[in-house]
Amino acid sequence: MSFKEMDIENAYRILAPRPTIIVTTINKNGEINAAPFSFTMPVSMDPPLISFASVPSHHTYKNIMETEEFVVNIPGANILEQLWITGEKFPPGVNEIEKANLTQTDSLKVTPPKIKECVAAIECKVHWIKKAGDHDIIVGEVLHVGIKDNILKEGLLDVEKVKPVLHLGGVNFVIGDHLKKVGE
């Protein structure tokens, strides 16, 4: 089988499915924001660093620039519809956690809250931010990790139990071995 050409600006679409996270932030006025991201990855084990890419116009990005803190929340398939709500375009100051009927809970090392319904939360402080085309890469140093009971199997995420949310593009997600469209 030979390769056919694809537009290079769509190359990211074949790097899918991608793990989806919900990043929670807070601004200097105490206003909470939550938004889903699928441009995310681990960067280093020593020190522990993780990253995600955001466009500078997002509330998440602006809050991180103000406070230099964020929480990476790991959702399971059971909150896919709520995850989608956190990605809606709300005006500044609207708490997407509340709009999605999720529950915020205090973090231990940073000011932004974590989301109770998620299976894990990784509290971070900014390590560095670098421009990368139309996005900026935000790298955070991991300060604390909290996980729910029984989400690990032999030291790895138990994907059969958690059913992580994997983003294909648009409203299309992969849950286990099934394609799921938000709203269906």
Q: What is the DSSP string of 115-167?
A: ETTSSEEEEEEEEEEEEETTEEEEEEEEEEEEE-TT-EETTEE-HHHH-B-EE
Chain-centre distance of CA 92, in angstroms?
A: 19
Q: What pLDDT, on the 0 to 100 scale, is given for residue 13? A: 87
- Whether 120 contacts 114, CB under 8 Å: no
Q: Give the span between the Cα atoms of 88 and 114, in whole angstroms.
A: 19
CATH of the domain at 91: 2.30.110.10
The first and second tokens of residue 23, run together, are 């990043």
Residue 30 DSSP label? -
Mean pLDDT of 55-59: 96
Domain presence at residue 72: yes
pLDDT of 177 > 80? The answer is: no
Position 141 in a domain: yes
Tally the domains of the chain: 1
95-129: pLDDT as tens digits: 999 999 999 999 999 999 999 999 999 999 999 99
How high is the pLDDT of residue 45? 97
Residue 11 within a domain: no
Asked if pLDDT for residue 180 goes beyond 90, the answer is no
CB 174 within 8 A of CB 166: yes
- Confidence band for 5, pLDDT divided at 50, 70 and 90: very high
Q: Is residue 10 part of a domain?
A: no
Question: Which neighbouring-strand residues pair with 22?
Answer: 36, 73
pLDDT digits (tens, 9 = 90+) for 137-172: 999 999 999 999 999 999 999 999 999 999 999 999
Q: Flag whether 40 is in a domain.
A: yes
Stated pTM of the model: 0.95
pLDDT at 155: 92
- Range(s) of the domain holding residue 96: 18-181
The mean pLDDT of the chain is 95
Residue 112 has a pLDDT of: 98
- Which of the pair, 61 or 180, is modelled with greater confidence? 61
Q: What is the per-residue pLDDT for 49?
A: 98
Identify whether 171 is part of a domain. Answer: yes
Q: Which helix (H) or strand (E) holds 96?
A: helix 96-99
Please choose, from the candidates 8, 28, 29, 37, the residue with its C-alpha nearest in 3D space to the C-alpha of residue 122. 37
Which pairs from 84-88 meet CB under 8 Å and 24+ separation? 84/36, 84/171, 84/182, 84/183, 86/22, 86/34, 86/35, 86/36, 87/35, 87/36
Could you read off the pLDDT of 71-97 as tens digits, one per residue?
999 999 999 999 999 999 999 999 999
In a domain, residue 135? The reply is: yes
